[in-house]
Amino acid sequence: GGIVWYRNWLYVPQTGSGFRVFDLNQIIELPTDRDDNFIGRNSDGQLSAFNYRYVIPEVARYYSCPTCCCVRFSYVSLVNDNAYPRLVSGEFTEDDNKTGRFFQWQLDPETGLLKEAGYTGLIDAETVTFSNLKGLQGVAWQNARYWTTANYDEFSFNHTGWLYSGRTSSSGASDIVAHSSIGGV
């Protein structure tokens, strides 16, 4: 569901739980002359990665709170407009009773990591936007306007995909202003 590179961090969404964070400053080169069939540290203390030459270690994870809104992290993108840097994650849904939401997470411009909410150690979504759409596959955002793609819509005949453009209101609801087919097979 996408990947964001901000400073030396790679943010990768993990659908059911949050973000995995990898540090590009810690890329490790491994020998490729061994017959590796696993990943991790072997019995000799050597690192293995299925004979891949480079690995990027996971250095952190952000987990969603199990009691708050059942957030799904299906995809992520970076917003780096005039305001401040932030991640936007979104939800893919197929359930007829649920539509996808977009969550904006503020990044600390000094560290490049998610900005904590006060002294609690928690990360609060800055905004939540209700898209009223399902089957969303990704989002790009600038100021109060976003563009999102979907692989499902009540108008999707012949397996076409859709590109939607919308803007948010002060209530956090979404106002879809346009959509068009982007093709299909």
For the stretch 95-130, pLDDT in tens is 777 788 899 999 998 999 998 876 666 788 888 888
Tens digits of residue pLDDT in 41-86: 878 888 888 888 899 999 999 887 766 667 888 999 999 877 789 9
All residues at 6 or more sequence positions from 126 whose CB lies less than 8 Å from its CB, including other chains: 86, 104, 105, 106
Q: For residue 75, give the nearest of 87, 84, 64 by alpha carbon.
A: 87
On whether the CB atoms of residues 152 and 127 are closer than 8 A, the answer is no
CB 104 within 8 A of CB 88: yes
Exposed, middle or buried, 6 (CB in 10 Å: 0-12/13-18/19+)? middle
> Is this prediction's pTM over 0.75?
yes
